[in-house]
Structure 1
Amino acid sequence: MSDFVIGESDFLLDGRPFRILSGALHYFRVHPGSWADRIEKARLMGLNTIETYVPWNAHSPRRGVFDTEGMLDLQEFLRLVAEAGLYAIVRPGPYICAEWDNGGLPAWLFSQPGVGVRRYEKQFMTAVEEYLHNVLSIVRPLQIDQGGPVLLVQVENEYGAFGDDQVYLKSVAEIIRAAGITVPLVTVDQPVGNMLAAGGLDGVLRTGSFGSRATERFATLRAHQPTGPLMCMEFWDGWFDHWGGPHHTTSVEEAAAELDALLASGASVNIYMFHGGTNFGLTSGANDKGVYRPTITSYDYDAPLDEAGNPTPKYDAFREVIARYAPVPDERPAPAAPAPTYSVTLEEPIRLLANPGHWGAWSDHASMPTLDELDARLVLFRTDIDVEGPALLTVGDVRDRAMVFLDGHPVGVLDREQHDNAIMLPRGRGRLELVVEDQGRVNYGPRIGEPKGLIGSVRLGSQVLSNWSACTIDLDAVPGLWAAGSTDALGVGPTAWRASLEVERSADLFLHTETWGKGIAWFNGFCLGRYWRRGPQATLFVPGPLVRPGLNELVVLELDVLADPTARFGPRLSLGPVEL
């Protein structure tokens, strides 16, 4: 067991000054079979610590549930960090941002009328306390003063950019302490005076988040905190991407120079990200600052390790910088070999509109329910309409995308990003069907926790449409659709396809999606995430541990048009253009 405390100017490990050289590595964005590899590559770059967020909504998709299986096995992840001889920083939130769906806050929280969002409100605090006790029961025995790797635990996350409820912030810190956390606590905020004031707590170490101008940033931080070690808890070495935007990169030379300046100041650092990984499943978030922009599946972040865990030029540059300030192992990671290439045909289409009951359960509603009320991410809504002539269909607010069909024929799409809320139907009689998709919840700012679906009245002309039937699509069950043994003729609307892939050995694969439309893919039942021809990313990453020697199954749910029903696996990542 060791003693780790905050000194007048340094962190002190067993009484001696200790500089934290950390890298962000989110266990929930990396297949567990790859955790040890990524941790070892952090050690070889010269890092002595691994930092991770904890996503509340992933662990608790429903109230009363706290899942720690598979990719959510935080205890095993921290055990592997310790086994590699490294330390750990845990940032449990409850809010994490992280470009993660809803910033990590569970959607079920907001079904409670009057519930608070990141403020001292009884319902919210009760849920927060339950969550933090669950996650910190894992962290508690793994603290450094109990023989584990955990050096620091963070209180909330960049709270000064959101609010100024000091009662709330202090209560979160008290819950963390009451859960048995004895290591030092920290907060993090951008080094702006009002944010540091609103997001910090007396007696809790303030840290900063920035990617440049370290001397200036630390001077601001020091003005709010005269003593204690300086630390950049998020040294931004890249950025994330939105659908329809460019792939963001940062200059290797400039990033390395900024890291050098930071370390020359004597400060500690957490590189965000050391390895970004992937927003597997439907976990990516979104931003909305007047325009809704959903985040892509890849969380490559232009980090020292790319999405597939391979060293980039930034890895070598950072390693060289770190070697000026701390010992770095002589060994280097082996360079990555190209992935094997394959091409297989997608076959056996099953159309949603042909037999919706095969995809999920129907329910009837007098008025349009939200996706939250149905606990769903994709829903087919149906009603009959009967008015004269062409008619204008309008919706209060579209969150986030609705495909419109009339008597089985496509009419168009209502897209939140385009601020669409109206579409002309060619006639006012027939069966109206709307396929409504949640493209990711906002993870930053005042729109956190907002409901999904078609919000407000759905009208045809001046008539409010009622008597809706809703088929809630069970996305987890899509890979099993063929168990019923029926396929459909090609036609319009969302369609599931599958293909078999024979491989010689387990290896990372890169599934190319640029010739497809918009949808979701699964490999051997594991949801790889969303794809969209808008880009920028043109590949979905298939982690090697998922790939079995012999026969493997790929399933694709195409929501738009699959112009080429061929699945191609290429030799490397394709994350898109850096300029548009």
Structure 2
Amino acid sequence: MKRLLAFGLSLLLAFGAANGILAQEHDKFEVGQGTFLLNGKPFVIKAAEVHYPRIPEPYWEHRIEMCKALGMNTLCLYVFWNLHEPSPGQFDFSGNNDIARFCRLAQKHGMYVIVRPGPYVCAEWEMGGLPWWLLKKDDVRLRTLDPYYMERVGIFMKEVGRQLADLQVSRGGNIIMVQVENEYGSYGTDKPYVSAIRDLVRASGFTDVPLFQCDWSSNFTNNALDDLLWTVNFGTGANIDEQFRKLKSLRPDTPLMCSEFWSGWFDHWGRKHETRDAATMVSGIKDMLDRGISFSLYMTHGGTTFGWWGGANNPAYSAMCSSYDYDAPISEAGWTTRKYFKLRDLLQSYLPAGETLSEPPAPIPVIEVPAITRWQVAPLFDNLPAPKQTEDIRPMEQFDQGWGTILYRTTLKDDISGTLHIDEVHDWAQVFADGRLLGRLDRRQGEFTLPLKGTLKKGTRLDILVEAMGRVNFDKSIHDRKGITRRVEVLSGDTARELKGWTVYNLPPFHDFVSHRNYRPGKADGMPAYYRATFKLDRPGDTFLDMRTWGKGMVWVNGHALGRFWEIGPQQTLYMPGCWLKKGENEIIVLDLKGPAETCVAGLATPILDQLRVKAPETHRKDGQNLKLDGETPVHTGTFASGNGWQEVKFDHPVEGRFFCLDATSNYDGSNIAAIAELDVLGADGKPLSREHWTVVYADSEETRSGNRTADKVYDLQESTFWQTVDNTAYPHQLVIDLGRNCRVTGFRMLPRAEAGAPGQVKDYRIYVKAKDFAY
């Protein structure tokens, strides 16, 4: 009996040790003096940011092993509210949404986890992770103490706690820290709101590990709570000492952590593919490790924003590509890269003597798929669902639709001529009269009007087909309703006549919907249509679907929504995980809203992420255009101080105007380059004006050869992006911004680049403000 009991006890101990469920085996993670402490010993967090929904669930373990072999000891991950609660009260934590399983897989491989449950996460994700159905309430105020919003946050956070609270290290799991909200200083100043979110996080069960909040070095004090750990986010090349200078002065004994060290950047439709230098990234991580600073590399593996989950920036509106490769050390398909091995070599050198890193797992096999050319077609206008009726135009959300495409249809009651004004298109529209295409409108370009050629007769069927390209995931613009948000009117002379009496058709992006259209042999003749085909495989494997002959739309394979495509690029292929393919017959469905040049899809062995096909000019200066400031009187002349960080300038007296001109006459480093990361214009109250409707009227020079360094970067709300002039164009350099309306201007704020020495920092300058545009 004693032998049997001893054997049973040994089994229990072994099981408990393997699964971390015995009290004496539990870890303790805490904030120490100048360092994090794991079981009482100093611990430097080397975290890999990865997002479970951007990785197919069968590949989770592969990507975790890749991070482990890189030299990371922790995984950092957001929790995506809109993914887990697609409709109010309906939660999904299964399959690819099973975040608890992801955490347990990380623990299996000896890795800790930092959880970032939001409720807002940004992440270039649809609406920053907030559910679209919040927008069905017209007066909802997101990310505030709005009662309805906070009620729903509480319900969601409680569900997150049910999934993850028992995985804290003190309870045998591997969660060592939990974040409160996300970069709230870039949204507003509201400590009571941030405090309320903190309380909900604690109430959900996260009471055993440190809670922290992350922000930028320029704004972290706006909402900093005394009882939370403070961390800072910044990108590769940033001046490390400068980024932590203020935090160290306020909390000299706190552990330092860069909670998002940006390894690359994300891609936008119609803009060049983004990359960041590998050596610069590794150098920044070395600088932090040498100072004992913890970090999370955002992203270590970006993956893919499958389906309709891609977000958008604003201002100016710009939707994200489906690939979230991010120029990260681990590629979109899970491959090692030059960045991977340079970083791995560095992290290996910081291991204790005698320890070595495990070898990276083998990559997933790749296959090529012969061209698929035999398709059946279901023209969109011939396959409409049951209609809904409304007298007035309303946004998509009011018709209980979250994503996809929506068709607004009316029959003209009178002849119309002039200009069709759609207020506002969110985000890409095609206008048809009796099935004939009249034109297309693109929110990215600020296109909301369509001149009518001739007269549309009474009885004409007017169709406006609007595709939702992704809700804004940053700043106040997250209140981003889709479809047509206000009205449709006809402008003729000084009159505006609103069109009424609409029939609405919801066209969601779900496989159950697109697979049940009436497919038949034939063609769609350039009109919006669904296409379906089958293809056979001898063996499955990863591949990249070549969409270069198609126009604009979305792809589904075997029921999985792969993402969006758009001929303009830069992304021309869609990552097709082999785990979603099967030996034998496979199904592919393509929705092309614009119409293909050729109905052909092949599976390539390598992706195409950097092929831009846009005819629009890359810069904000027309050929031969030169700003004329002769005879203009500056409202302010000054000299910026040398160094990193925001600088604020107040005018001697307020001025009225709509057009703001910065005329930079010299810089500090003696080069030809001018560079500015962010620019605020101060209003009558001394606070920054909204940038929502700003546009660049003129920039004398913009660097578009080596990166997306156009002038609109000064108001994109991203401190790590910047306007930069080309290196062969001498000073002076000018930038003219249309503020969107006449304003009372009292000054401005300027942020140089974040790198040490602030490359290209402007020294001497003149400011002009006018009610009317300048002469060119």
Q: What TM-score do the two structures reach when normalised by structure 1?
A: 0.96
CA gap of 1:188–1:568, structure 2 versus 1, over 3 A, is: same
Residue-by-residue CA offset, 1:65-91 (whole Å, 9 max, x unaligned) = 111122111111111111111110000
Aligned to 1:463: 497
Aligned to 1:383: 410
Aligned to 2:527: 493
Aligned counterpart in structure 2 of residue 530 of structure 1, from 553, 564, 568? 564
1:442 correspondence with 2:465: no
Aligned to 1:565: 599
Contact 1:189-1:199 at 8 Å conserved across structures: no
Contact 1:280-1:527 at 8 Å conserved across structures: yes
Aligned letter for 1:153? V
1:209 correspondence with 2:233: yes
Aligned to 1:199: 223
Residue-by-residue CA offset, 1:249-279 (whole Å, 9 max, x unaligned) = 1111111111111111111111100100111
Contact 1:299-1:307 at 8 Å conserved across structures: yes
Aligned letter for 1:154? Q
Aligned counterpart in structure 2 of residue 423 of structure 1, from 431, 450, 463? 450
SS at match of 2:265: coil
Residue-by-residue CA offset, 1:326-373 (whole Å, 9 max, x unaligned) = 2541423436765324211141111011232xxx23111111121111
Aligned to 2:371: 343
Shift of 1:206: 0.4
Contact 1:437-1:453 at 8 Å conserved across structures: yes
Aligned letter for 1:433? D
Contact 2:366-2:543 at 8 Å conserved across structures: no
Cα separation, 1, equivalents of 2:163 and 2:569:
39
CA gap of 1:544–1:199, structure 2 versus 1, over 3 A, is: farther
Shift of 1:425: 3.1
Contact 1:207-1:231 at 8 Å conserved across structures: yes
Aligned to 1:502: 536
Cα separation, 2, equivalents of 1:191 and 1:42:
27
Cα separation, 2, equivalents of 1:547 and 1:355:
28
CA gap of 1:473–1:336, structure 2 versus 1, over 3 A, is: closer
Cα separation, 2, equivalents of 1:372 and 1:100:
18
Shift of 1:218: 2.0
Alignment of 1:115-194 (within 5 A): 115-181=140-206, 182-192=208-218
SS at match of 1:475: coil
Aligned counterpart in structure 2 of residue 576 of structure 1, from 598, 601, 610? 610
Cα separation, 2, equivalents of 1:120 and 1:243:
34
1:259 correspondence with 2:289: no
The alignment's C-alpha RMSD in Å is 1.6
Aligned letter for 1:428? L
CA gap of 1:485–1:416, structure 2 versus 1, over 3 A, is: closer
SS at match of 1:447: helix
Aligned to 1:227: 253
Cα separation, 1, equivalents of 2:388 and 2:260:
46
Shift of 1:485: 5.7
Aligned to 2:300: 274
CA gap of 1:485–1:207, structure 2 versus 1, over 3 A, is: closer
SS at match of 1:554: strand
1:452 correspondence with 2:452: no
Shift of 1:389: 6.1
Cα separation, 2, equivalents of 1:330 and 1:62:
43
Q: Which runs of 5+ in 2 are unaligned?
A: 1-25, 612-705, 709-776
Aligned letter for 2:484? L
Contact 2:549-2:567 at 8 Å conserved across structures: yes
Shift of 1:213: 1.7
Alignment of 1:18-29 (within 5 A): 18-29=43-54
SS at match of 1:398: strand
SS at match of 1:79: helix
Aligned counterpart in structure 1 of residue 426 of structure 2, from 364, 380, 399? 399
Shift of 1:186: 0.8
Aligned letter for 1:347? W
SS at match of 1:481: coil
Question: Percent same amino acid among aligned pairs?
Answer: 36
Aligned to 2:663: none
CA gap of 1:409–1:185, structure 2 versus 1, over 3 A, is: same
Aligned residues: 573
CA gap of 1:203–1:355, structure 2 versus 1, over 3 A, is: closer
Q: Which runs of 5+ in 1 are unaligned?
A: none
Q: What TM-score do the two structures reach when normalised by structure 2?
A: 0.72
Aligned counterpart in structure 1 of residue 553 of structure 2, from 511, 519, 522? 519
SS at match of 1:244: coil
1:408 correspondence with 2:435: yes
Aligned to 1:480: 515
Largest Rg, 1 or 2: 2
CA gap of 1:336–1:126, structure 2 versus 1, over 3 A, is: closer
Aligned to 2:694: none
Shift of 1:158: 0.6
